[in-house]
Structure 1
């Protein structure tokens, strides 16, 4: 079973929660258009390896979404250690490190929204393009495998852009996880 993750920015935990909870019959925060869903399915059928690479989509709500496979927010602790002055243990002790935002714990049915720390958001927002591949290589060696470096570099490029937008808008980062 694979884990699908959609990283996004939102103004608050309550706004982020709408990624899994419907509000007044409106589309959820991260709902894609029917055309985008169809295009994604077609890509998976034609080019599954390409479809598995991280990519950026725009949800119907206008929310920028960084889609990835296998980069769940619990693995971001090591990345934060690499990018910041915080130790791995300190990152894991942060109450926003992969904290459950929605739904309520007893209502989890395959999908949830987890928080990303503000420290990681800020570190990503200030990450220079020249440093992205080195950070991805360090992260791959520590948390994945060296073979994941290219995919993680693409993920970091997209996540860095998302973090930069979040800082400008005073938003926080979140991850919608489906398993």
Structure 2
């Protein structure tokens, strides 16, 4: 089974929770425009590797989204420890690290959930210098994945850093929609 992880910014947990809502006739919080969907499909036909790269796109709602396929929000704990110098145990104890935002009850989970990302990680990413991203990706790959993941993590890190910078400017928080 494939898991999709779409990271996005929203002004509150309540707004973020609407990412799991399906409303007939209305675009959802993270729905891309028909043109963006068509362009993505065309890019997949021409260059699947390029199309699979994480990138920030803007949904019809105006919500910036990092389209990703494989970075689980629970793995961001190691990244946060690397960026902030906080211990992994301290990061792990933060209730916003992969905290369930929606649905409100575990028994209502059907196909997707919204999880929170800590403000500490958002702020650390927003201040991350581009010149340090390769080293951070290397450390993260070594701590959480394996050496072969370094390049893909670098691309993801660049996109998530862009999203974090936008979120800080707009006073938003970061979230992840996990679709399974």
- What TM-score does the superposition give when structure 1 sets the normalisation length? 0.93
Residues 23, 170 of structure 1: alpha-carbon distance in 2 compared, 3 angstrom cutoff? farther
The farther-off stretch of 143-152 and 9-18 is 143-152
Secondary structure at 2:32 match in 1: coil
Partner of 1:101: 101
* C-alpha distance in 2 between matches for 1:50 and 1:109: 31
Query: Partners in 2 of 1:26 and 1:86 — Cα distance?
Result: 42
User: Structure 2 length as normaliser, TM-score?
Assistant: 0.92
Provide closer, same or farther for how the CA distance between residues 107 and 45 of structure 1 changes in structure 2, counting only shifts above 3 A: farther
Distance (whole Å) between structure 2 residues aligned to residue 25 and residue 51 of structure 1 = 28
Instruction: List, as ranges, runs of 4+ consecutive aligned residues in structure 1 with deviation greater than 6 Å.
Output: none
Hey, what does 1:120 align to over in structure 2? 121
- List alignment gaps of at least 5 residues for structure 2: none
- The residue correspondences of 1:19-34 to structure 2 (distance < 5 A) are 19-22=19-22, 26-34=26-34
Q: How many residues align?
A: 179
Name the CA distance, whole Å, in 2 between partners of 1:54 and 1:159.
9
Q: 1:39 & 1:101 partners in 2: Cα distance?
A: 31
Pairwise CA distance, 1:27? 1.9
* Contact map agreement 1:117 1:173 (CA 8 A) in 2: yes
Aligned Cα RMSD in Å? 1.6
Determine the C-alpha separation between the residues in 1 that align with 2:149 and 2:39: 25
Residue of structure 2 equivalent to 1:83: 83
